[in-house]
Chains A and B, each alone.
Chain A
Amino acid sequence: MDQLGTDPNGIGSRWEAVYRSELTSVDEAEAQVVALAEKYGFDEDDLHKIGIALREGMVNAVVHGNKYSAEKQVFLTVVRQEEGLSVIIRDQGAGFDLSQVPDPLAQENLLRESGRGILLMQAFMDEFQVRRLSDGTEITMVKYQAS
C-alpha cells in the first residue's frame, strides 16, 4: 500500500491511498477507513456499516475488477464532507453494467453463493453510484452523519 497523503481533519479534507490487487489490501483499507470514520465521530453502528460497505467495494475492485492482477491497482479516496463522508474506489478492470447485475433478492437467486456485495453497499450507505471509466470502474458511496 502506498499512501499518498493524510489529512483526516476538517470538512473537505481528502485522504488517498493506492493498493495492490490483493485480499490483504481489503483488510488494510477497511481498517484505515473505519479509523478515519471513527475520528470523524461516526457511531459504532455506522462504523460497522461503513466498514462492510468499504470491504465490499474493495473486494469488488480487487477480485472482480482487477482480477488480482499485479499490474493493476485500486485507488481509494475518502473525503470528509459537511454531511458525512464519501468513499471513492476506483479499479482498473473492464467494468460492469449495474443494470446487468442479477437481482440477489429475486427468488431464483436467493441461493446463489455470490452477488450480494452491491446490495450491501447500497443498504449500508446513503448514496451509491457506479461510473464506468475508460480504464476502469469507480464506485462512490456517501454516508451521512447524524448531527
Chain B
Amino acid sequence: MSVKLSTRQVGDVTVIDAAGRITLGEGTSTLRDAIRDSVSGGHKKILLNLGEVNYIDSSGIGELVSAFTTVTNQGGQLKLLSLNKRIQDLLQITKLYTVFEAFDDEAAAIRSFS
C-alpha cells in the first residue's frame, strides 16, 4: 500500500495524517503534492502525523527533507508527530533528528507552533 494522506485544520495548524508506505514513486509524489498544496494555500504551519506510517525508504526520508526545506523557505514550520521506533531509528541513522522537531503528543505539538 502506498501512502494515504488526509488533511485537517487545528486552529492555524494544518495536520497531515499519513498512513502506509512513503517510498520512491507514488508515495513520495503524494506527500510532495500535499505539502505544496498546503503551502500554496497559505498554510505554512504543518504538523505531519506519521503515526500510521509503517515504512519509509531513503527516498521517503528525502521527501521529508524536501518538505521541511519547502515549508521553511516559505517562512513556515514543519514538525513531525507520532514517530514509531523504526522511523525514529531512521532519523537517528541519518542524523535528521537534529533537523526535525518531533512530538509524541498532538496537543503539545499544536501548542508549539504558537
Categorize the interface residue count of chain A.
20 to 34
Contact (Cβ within 8 A) A111 B69: yes
CB distance from B83 to the nearest CB of A (A): 15
Q: Flag the segment in A1-9, A77-85, A115-123, A128-136 that touches B.
A: A115-123
Kindly state whether residue A17 has any CB partner on chain B within 8 Å.
no
* Choice from B59, B61, B86, B93 contacting A59 with Cβ under 8 Å: B59
CA distance in complex: A117, B94 (Å): 10
Tell me whether chain B's interface is mostly helix, strand or loop, or mixed: helix
Residues of B close to A110: CB separation below 8 A: 65, 95-96, 98-99
Known: A23-B25, A55-B57, A114-B59. A119 touches B93 (CB 8 A): yes
Instruction: Scan residues 91-110 of chain B and give those whose CB is less than 8 A from a CB of chain A.
Output: 93-96, 98-99
Closest Cβ of chain B to A73, distance in Å, is: 19
Q: Which residues of B contact A23 (CB under 8 A)?
A: 24-25
A42 to B98 Cα, complex, angstroms? 32
Whether A39 sits at the interface, judged by CB under 8 Å, is no
Chain A residue nearest to B89 in the complex (CB) = A123
**What CA separation (Å) do A110 and B95 show in the bound complex?**
7
CA distance in complex: A120, B23 (Å): 14
Q: Is the beta-carbon distance between A112 and B65 smaller than 8 angstroms?
A: yes
Interface size class of chain B, counting residues whose CB lies under 8 Å from the partner chain: 20 to 34
Q: How far is it, in angstroms, between the C-alpha of A124 and the C-alpha of B73 when the chains are bound?
A: 33
B58 is an interface residue with CB less than 8 A from chain A = yes
Within the complex, what minimum Cβ distance (angstroms) separates B21 from chain A? 10
Known contacts A119-B93, A119-B94, A120-B93, A111 near B99 by CB under 8 Å? yes
Beyond A56-B58, A113-B62, A120-B94, 14 additional pairs, beta carbon < 8 A: A23-B25, A26-B24, A52-B57, A55-B57, A63-B24, A110-B65, A110-B98, A112-B62, A112-B65, A113-B65, A114-B62, A117-B58, A119-B58, A123-B93
B-binding residues in A (CB < 8 A):
23, 26, 48, 51-52, 55-56, 59, 63, 104-105, 110-114, 116-117, 119-120, 123
Q: Could you show 29 A-B contacts with beta carbons less than 8 Å apart?
A: A23-B24, A48-B55, A48-B86, A51-B55, A55-B23, A55-B57, A56-B58, A59-B24, A63-B24, A104-B94, A110-B95, A110-B96, A110-B98, A110-B99, A111-B65, A112-B62, A112-B65, A113-B62, A113-B65, A113-B66, A114-B59, A116-B58, A116-B61, A116-B94, A117-B58, A119-B58, A119-B94, A120-B57, A120-B58
